């Protein structure tokens, strides 16, 4: 399980989300957007980890789909933080988009393998 690039990337993303949100809260006293982002951002990796212990292929796919939804939500909050000027580094948004692409690919592959 620890060899999973998706799991490693989602954990690194969660740690970066925590760091960025804490920085924004300290320096700019913004908490509404950052609280939402922390919830969705750290949930991605948690759902991916749950998927590794799924009871069935359908459960595995369902957990990855939840992670994808959380990733999409995180992308939205990041866009708001960047476009509103609270955060200037777009690299974290790029990380989020990369994880989203991997999740979409993983879900599609799992669905294809289920049909075989």
pLDDT band at 114 (very low <50, low <70, confident <90, very high): confident
Q: Mean pLDDT across the stretch 75-88?
A: 96
C-alpha torsion angle, residues 28, 37, 99, 50 (rounded to 10)? 140
Domain residue spans of the chain = 5-115
User: Taking residues 66-71, what's their average pLDDT?
Assistant: 98
CATH of domain 5-115: 1.20.1440.60
Phi/psi at 85 (nearest 5 deg)? 90, 5
- Please, are residues 25 and 31 in contact by the beta-carbon 8 Å criterion? yes
Class of residue 91 by CB neighbours under 10 A (exposed 0-12, middle 13-18, buried 19+): exposed
Q: What is the CA radius of gyration of the chain?
A: 15
Collapsing DSSP states into helix, strand and coil, what is residue 4? coil
CB-neighbour burial class of residue 2 (10 A; exposed 0-12, middle 13-18, buried 19+): exposed
Q: pLDDT per residue over 2-41, tens digit each?
A: 589 999 999 999 999 999 999 999 999 999 999 999 999 9
pLDDT confidence tier of residue 72, bands split at 50, 70 and 90: very high
Q: Dihedrals φ, ψ of 17, to 5°?
A: -60, -45
CA-nearest of 106, 94, 32, 31 to 68 is 106
Assign 68 a pLDDT band (cuts: 50, 70, 90): very high
What's the mean pLDDT in 92-110?
Answer: 98
pTM of the model: 0.94
């Amino acid at each position: 399980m620890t060899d999973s690039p998706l799991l490693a990337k989602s954990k690194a993303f969660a740690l970066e989300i925590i760091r960025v949100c804490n920085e924004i809260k300290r320096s700019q006293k913004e908490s509404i957007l950052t609280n939402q982002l922390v919830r969705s951002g750290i949930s991605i990796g948690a759902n991916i980890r749950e998927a590794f212990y799924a009871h069935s292929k359908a459960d595995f796919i369902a957990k990855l789909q939840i992670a994808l939804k959380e990733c999409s939500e995180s992308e939205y909050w990041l866009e708001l933080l960047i476009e509103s000027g609270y955060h200037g580094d777009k690299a974290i948004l790029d990380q989020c988009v990369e994880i989203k692409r991997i999740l979409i690919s993983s879900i599609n592959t799992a669905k294809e393998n289920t049909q075989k």
